[in-house]
Each structure stands twice: as C-alpha cells, then as structure tokens.
Structure 1
Amino acid sequence: MYETYRLGILIDHLKAEDLIRQIDEYIEETPVDQIPHIFYVLSLASNRRIMIELLTDLARGVDEELPASIVAGILYKDRARYTVGELYAKIGMLASLLADEDSEIAASFRELKQSYDELQAVYGSRFKRKKARERMLARSEKVLEETLSEYGHFAEEMDRKEWWLN
C-alpha cells in the first residue's frame, strides 16, 4: 500500500490529501486497538513532501512490481482525466521511478514512451502529413489503452477497505 501511494503521488496522479482523508476515515471507523500506529503519523503529514518521505521510509525493501501494476491500473481507470500525451508522460515517470529497470512493467512502459516520443518527433510538427500523423497517433493511443487495460483489475485492489492492512 505504501509503495503504491508513493508512486501514485510521485507521478502526480494520487494526492497526499486524499490519502490523509482516507486514513482519517479509517481511523474514525476502526477501534483504537486495531489501528496501526503509523496511520496516526501519516494522518498528521502536513504536506506532499513529508508524505513522500514517510511513504519512502515505509516502503523500503518492498517489491515494486505489484504497486506499479496497481498505479498503472489506476491510470487506466482514470484515463479520461488526461490527454494521451499526459498519460504517456505519467507512464514514463512511473517507469523511471522503479528501481528494477529490467522489470516487465518498467521495460514495457519505457518502450511505449520511447515509441510515442519517436512518433512525436517524426509526425509532431509536419502538417503536410496530417492524415498519417493522426493515424499513427490514434494507433499509439490504442496501444497505450490496451497496455494499461491489462493492469485495470489491479485498480480494484485500491477500492477494497481491507486492503489497508494487507
């Protein structure tokens, strides 16, 4: 959970304020003896930087593959909030944040972003090839959406309340 939020906040998709609100709701609904102490510390984080520092400390040594998959699923679920270029920027940032550059998700997202950047370089400013540009960008958008859809089911994990303690 901590690594998922850390990655989501770092790519500027998840907000520290939302995490604090969710933790506060959890604290209000849960008996005191069942609340992990760290939730109180996270609840009192005063800004994004402090929240990221706390989450970084908590997530040390955690395998990033599952949290990165969850963040990719959340991006898929919320894809309507962003343009195609913004989504590519977010997956590029996500890939660069992963410690294991050779992981499947990091390599996949890095290749997607690189392919998109190459398309932009070739077709981005050439108005005489407008139809070819639109076709290539539509194909690129479809590939991005298909790739993110593979991670869509991971986003459901974030919606389950019991996931907090797993």
Structure 2
Amino acid sequence: MTIKKEAAFHEAAHAVTAYYSKFHSIVLGIDLEDYGAGEIFVSLSKSKCIENGKPPSAETAKDKEVSKELAVILCSGYVGELIAAETDPSLNPSRSSAGPDYQLAVQNLKAAGLSHKYDFHHDNARTFLESKWDVVNKLAEHLFSVKKESAENIIKFIENA
C-alpha cells in the first residue's frame, strides 16, 4: 500500500488539535502503514476536564462545550488536508476518507442535543489549524518520514515544535 502524504497531514491535524484542546488528549499513536485502522485516537482527559471545571465522567462526553470541541478535533483531519493542498498542488484531499470522522462528529453532536451540522466546527478547525500550521506541517513531515509514532512521542514532538 502506498502511503499518501495527505494521510500524514490528516493525522497531524487531529493530533495537534487534540493536544491543544481543553478536554481531550491523544491516547494512541499513529501508524500510517495501517491507515484506516491505525488512525490516532483521542479521549476525554480526566486531568484536562478537572482543570477546566468539568467532572471526569462518561456524562461529560455529552456536555455541549466538550462535544463542540470534539467536533472540531474530528473535522480538523480533513481541514488539515485542505490547508496542505493550498500550498502543495500535488496533494489531493479526500473528503470520503474523512467520512468516519464526520459521522462520529454528527453522532456526538446529536448525543449532546446540538445541531448535527458541522460547518461551524469545520470553520473553527481551519482557524485553529492556521494558527498552529507550523507545528502541523512539521509533525506531518515527521510522520510521513517515520510512518509510525507513539502517542508519547507525538506529544513530545508537539511540545518541542
């Protein structure tokens, strides 16, 4: 299987957005060679929830603020591909490969009693990623080079970028 550079930008965007989020953390690494099954995983962070005044419980996942943040994290993968393609015309962003992310965003938003339209969250992902693009770009290049990275090393990379 040929690994597409778009996948590196997609996963780097998720990672950077999750790292800087108020309520979520990166919990598993990225394996571009197992793309699809090896995507980055994020979860509610007990410590981040407590720091930001939310109880660290399963019900917190349905909190409107927490749900909106997760929608931004989920939308950020495809948005990262789009931003990368704006400066590298050889890249071909694939909305269909981001389908599971958008389905999960819709499911999560509905569970929180929010509108399942994700355009607003998509726009927020773009604004955030543009502000952190140097980090996303460096991480994507690194991931494309190494193909596989642990959550711990991704976090260290972002902290040092």
TM-score by length of 2: 0.31
Relative CO higher for 1 or 2, CA cutoff 8 Å, sep ≥ 6?
2
Structure with the larger helix share: 1
Instruction: Please report the TM-score for the alignment, with normalisation by the length of structure 1.
Output: 0.30
Which protein has the larger Cα radius of gyration, Structure 1 or Structure 2? 1
Higher strand share: 2
